[in-house]
Amino acid sequence: MAGTGEPKYFVLAERAVPYLLARVRWPDVAQAITARSPDWLDDPGLFDLPYDPSAVTVSFPQATCVAAGWGRPLHPGSAEGVPSYIRRMPANWSDLSPSERRAWGIEFIGRRRSSPRRLRRLRSARAKIAASSAAEANGHVAALAGAAAGRGSAQTERRSDMRVRIDGRAHIRCGDTTTISVGLVDLSEGGMGCVLPEGSPLAAPGATLGGPFLLEAEATASRICLDVAGQTRWQRGTGASTQFGVVFGHLDEGENEGVQRFLAAACSRRGRR
C-alpha cells in the first residue's frame, strides 16, 4: 500500500561534500543517486537511512541543488521502473560492504584522509588569497560597521575567522517547511555573509537557524552541506536587497576540512580570472 505525503530527502557527505542523495517514504519509496552513479536505484536498505547518525535531512530545494550538481533534474515523487539493488539486511550506512560500495559507486568514501602536510598547504593557500583581498574585506566590514551605528554596536561585526569573498549561493533551511536561497558573499569556518532580494522572508538578528546549510560556488560548481545550526548576527537593507550575516555552530573536523577545500577551490578559480 502506497505511503502518503511527499518523500523525505537525506544526504550522506564526506568532509561536508555530498556523495549520496536519497528519498524515502515508508513503505513504497526508497531510492537514491550518488555523485558517481546519478541514475536512480531502488534499495530497501534506504528505509534504515533516516535512523543512521550520518544521514542529514535536507529540504526539497536543497536536494534539488545537490541533484543538479550531478546533472540530474529532481522532480517530486519517485521514479518508475528503476533497477533494484538486492542487499544484506539490515543496512549499515556507516559501514558499507565492498559490494554495497561498488553498487553505489562510492568505493572512495572513507578510505583516504588528507595528510597533515596537505592540510597545511590547503590552509596556506587560503591564507595567501585571503591576505591579498584583506583591503577589500576590511572595507566591506567598515561599511557594515558604519551602517550598524543606527541599530547597535560595531562589535556585532567582530569575526574570529577571516572570511573569503565567494561568488555563489546558499540554501538555508529555516524551520521544517521553509528554505530560502540567497547569494553567498563571503565564507569562513565561523560563518558567512549573504544577500537576498528585498522583501524576502528572513529571521530577525539573533534568531536561530536550524540548518543544514547547503552552499554552492558558481565558479567551481562545488557544493558542501554543513549539518549545523546557525544564528543571524546582523542584517541591513540596501534598497534592492538585504545583507545579513550568519554565525555557524560548531563544525566537526570533516566539515572544517570541507569548508577549507571549498574556499581553496573557489579562491584558486578567482585568482585565475
Judged against a pLDDT cut of 60, whether residue 154 lies above it is answered with no
What's the Cα-to-Cα distance from 104 to each of 11, 54, 56, rounded to whole Å? 14, 17, 18
The grid cell for 19 is 556523495
For domain 116-271, give the CATH number: 2.40.10.220
Q: Report the mean per-residue pLDDT for the chain.
A: 82
Average pLDDT (235-264) is 91
Instruction: In the chain, list all ranges with CATH 2.40.10.220.
Output: 116-271
Helix (H) or strand (E) run with residue 114 in it: none
**Residue 119: CA atoms inside 13 Å, Cβ hemisphere, count?**
11
Comparing CA positions, the residue from 100, 21, 110, 87 lying closest to residue 59 is 21
Q: Quick one: pLDDT at residue 197?
A: 76
Local confidence band at 64 (pLDDT 50, 70, 90 cut-offs): very high
Non-local CB neighbours of 177 within 8 Å, separated by 6+ positions: none
pLDDT digits (tens, 9 = 90+) for 187-244: 999 999 999 877 666 777 888 898 899 999 998 889 999 999 999 999 888 778 889 9
What pTM does this model have? 0.83
